[in-house]
């Protein structure tokens, strides 16, 4: 993966911020683009150490892992985004990174859902698929009926209450979903079994069978 920093001006608060990313795979990928958002206790480097960037990039996807401001390596800034800034953060970034007519798969872990929710809710026509890893769900952005058709893969650790109100709300919000529970896994379930995580994301994004028999797939 290659490090990349670009400046992005928010259409919400008009502040220009540097965004630090790790990018892998071909820039003109025919398979599509996967955008990955880490959780609060982690960073963009989590996906490098886990092998996610290499696995997905080598499979032919263009992968953009974002370091979220106020978290991670702090290379995207020390200050956390407020609700207003978060509302357009991903849309403004992808305007610079992805052609306007291209749909993307969003992968969000836990806190990463606060960045993913506004984009998935307000720009669902640009979402080929959504992988939520017990991600925070901000339902105020999910009022469009188009959200109901977004193909969604819900990943949850068995030790993280997969029958919780949060999990049930996620399933209600995205009726076009399939849920996979990682056995004996904590909140960041991908750490328990990276191989399972990678193969699920690849099958979801590419429709290539990998033994999981997923019934829901991204729609690039």
Q: Is 38 among the catalytic positions?
A: no
Out of 10, 76, 87, 110, the active site residue is: 110
- Which entry of 54, 144, 159, 187 is annotated as an active-site residue? 187
How would you write the chain as a 3-class SS string? Answer: CEEEEEEEECCCCCCEEEEEEEEECCCCCCCCEEEEECCCCCCHHHHHHCCHHHHHHHCCCEEEEECCCCCCCCCCCCCCCCHHHHHHHHHHHHHHHCCCCCCEEEEEEHHHHHHHHHHHHHCHHHEEEEEEECCCCCHHHCCCHHHHHCCEEEEEEHHHCCCCHHHHHHHHHCCCEEEEEECCCCCCHHHCCHHHHHHHHHHHHHCCCCCCCCCCCCCC
Would residue 67 show up in a list of annotated catalytic residues for this protein?
no
Q: Which of 24, 38, 160, 206 is catalytic?
A: 160
Q: Specify whether 149 is catalytic.
A: no
Active site residues: 110, 160, 187
């Amino acid at each position: 993966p290659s490090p990349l920093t670009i400046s992005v001006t928010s259409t919400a608060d008009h502040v220009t911020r540097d965004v630090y990313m790790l990018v892998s795979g071909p820039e003109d990928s025919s398979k599509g683009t996967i955008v990955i958002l880490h959780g609060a206790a982690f960073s963009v480097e989590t996906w490098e150490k886990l092998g996610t960037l290499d696995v997905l990039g080598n499979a032919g996807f263009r992968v953009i892992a974002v370091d979220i401001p106020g978290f991670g390596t702090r290379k995207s800034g020390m200050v956390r985004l407020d609700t207003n800034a978060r509302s357009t953060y991903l849309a403004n970034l992808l305007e610079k990174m992805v052609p306007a007519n291209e749909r993307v798969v969003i992968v969000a872990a836990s806190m990463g859902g606060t960045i993913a929710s506004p984009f998935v809710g307000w720009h669902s026509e640009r979402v080929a698929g959504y992988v939520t890893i017990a991600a925070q769900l901000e339902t105020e952005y999910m009022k469009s009926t188009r959200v109901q058709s977004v193909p969604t893969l819900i990943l949850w650790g068995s030790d993280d209450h997969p029958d919780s109100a949060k999990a049930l709300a996620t399933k209600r919000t995205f009726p076009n979903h399939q849920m996979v529970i990682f056995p004996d896994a904590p909140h960041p379930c991908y750490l328990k079994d990276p191989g399972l995580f990678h193969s699920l994301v690849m099958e979801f994004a590419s429709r290539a069978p990998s033994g999981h028999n997923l019934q829901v797939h991204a729609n690039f």
